[in-house]
A and B are shown apart, each in its own frame.
Chain A
C-alpha cells in the first residue's frame, strides 16, 4: 500500500492528520493501545498506555500513565484540529499474558478500567474494544479512513472500527 507507519511504543503517543499515514503499536500485552479518531477531519491519535495511574509519582515520562496519556492525547488531537465531541475511541490490549502469576500482572485489567474512566470523564464514546484475555495484540490506525484493526498473536487481522462506515452508533 505504500502507507508510512509510525510506531507508537511503550509510553508514547502520536497524532496524525496525514492521509496514507498509519499509527501502529506492535505486540501489546498488558498495555492498552487507545485509538481516538475524528473521522470528519481525518485526524487520528494513538496512545500506548503502560500503567493505570501515576499516584503522585513524578516520573520523567508521565505519558505512560492512563491519567496523563488520555487527556494529553485529546489535547494534541484538538491542537491538530479535531473536535472533542466527534472523537470516537477504540481500545486494544490489557491482556493477562501469564495466567498464573503475581498480582502485578493483573495490570492489564486495571489499565483498561483506568483508560475507560478517563474517556468517560471526557465524554468520549468507546466504539469497539479487543481487550482482556491472554493473547498479545497489534493495533493499526489508518489515519485517512479512520479504520482501526487488531491482530491477535497467531490470528488474522480484524476490523474494529470500519473506515467508511457512517457513524450512527450510540455510546
Chain B
C-alpha cells in the first residue's frame, strides 16, 4: 500500500489555497443567484484512489456532476457535485424550470462561473498561467462520476490529492461540494509556487 506523501505543512498550505479559491467561487455564486452563500472550512486530503472515491459519499447515490478541466502550468480537474434536488432548486433560482431544455445548460453555466472563479483565484495566488476548459455535466451514480474524474489523473500515481469545500445557499438548503483534483505534476507545481516543494 502506498502512503500519502504530503506533509501536514503542505496540506495546510493547500487547504488555505482551497479556502481562498472557494471564497472567490462563493462570491461568484452569490452574485449569480442573488443570495448569500456560506462556505465550509475546506479539507485537503491525500488518499489512495479507492479511498478518495469512498470519501466522496455513497457510490450509488444519484448526483449531478459538473466537470471543468484545468490546463496550462498545472493540469487538473475541478468537479462540482450537486444533489439532484439542489440542482433543480438552483435552476429555479435562475428562473429555469428543472425539466426545461435549458436546465442542463443553466447548470453548466453555474459550474462554469463558480469553477472558473476558483481557477482564476488559484492562478492569481500562485502566478500560474492556467485556464479552464468548457464544462461538461452528468447526473449519475456518485461513484461513477468521481472515479471517472480520478481515472483521468491515475496514470502517474496512486494517490489523489482532493481539496474539497462546500458552498451552501443560505435559506435554501441547497449546496454544492467542490473538488479540485490536480494531477501529480500539478501538485508539485502548486507546492513549488508556494515555496513548499
Chain A residues within CB distance 8 Å of chain B: 9-12, 26-31, 50-51, 55, 57, 59-61, 64, 95, 97-102, 104-105, 107-108, 134-138, 153-154
Q: Give the contact stretch, choosing among B8-16, B155-163, B173-181.
A: B155-163
Assuming the contacts A97-B138, A134-B138, asked whether A27 and B144 have C-beta atoms less than 8 A apart, the reply is yes
Smallest CB separation, A144 vs chain B (Å): 24
Contact A57 B155 (CB under 8 A): yes
**Cα A23 to Cα B151 with chains together (Å):** 21
Q: What is the number of residues of chain B that contact chain A, defined by CB distance less than 8 Å? A: 35
Q: Closest 8 A-B residue pairs measured CB to CB?
A: A27-B143, A136-B144, A9-B50, A29-B148, A29-B144, A98-B136, A136-B141, A27-B59
Q: Do A97 and B158 have beta carbons less than 8 Å apart?
A: no
- Who on chain B is nearest to A135 by CB? B140
Residue numbers of B with Cβ under 8 A of A are: 2, 48-51, 53-54, 59-60, 62, 65, 67, 69, 133-134, 136-138, 140-148, 150-152, 154-158
Residues of A contacting B154 in the complex (Cβ-Cβ under 8 angstroms): 10-11, 50-51, 64
By secondary structure, the A interface counts as loop
Whether A107 contacts B151 by the Cβ 8 Å rule is yes
Cβ–Cβ contact B145 & A12, under 8 A: no
Nearest chain B residue, comparing its CB with the CB of A108:
B148
A-B contact pairs, 9 of them (CB 8 A): A9-B51, A10-B151, A26-B143, A64-B154, A108-B148, A134-B138, A135-B144, A137-B141, A153-B144
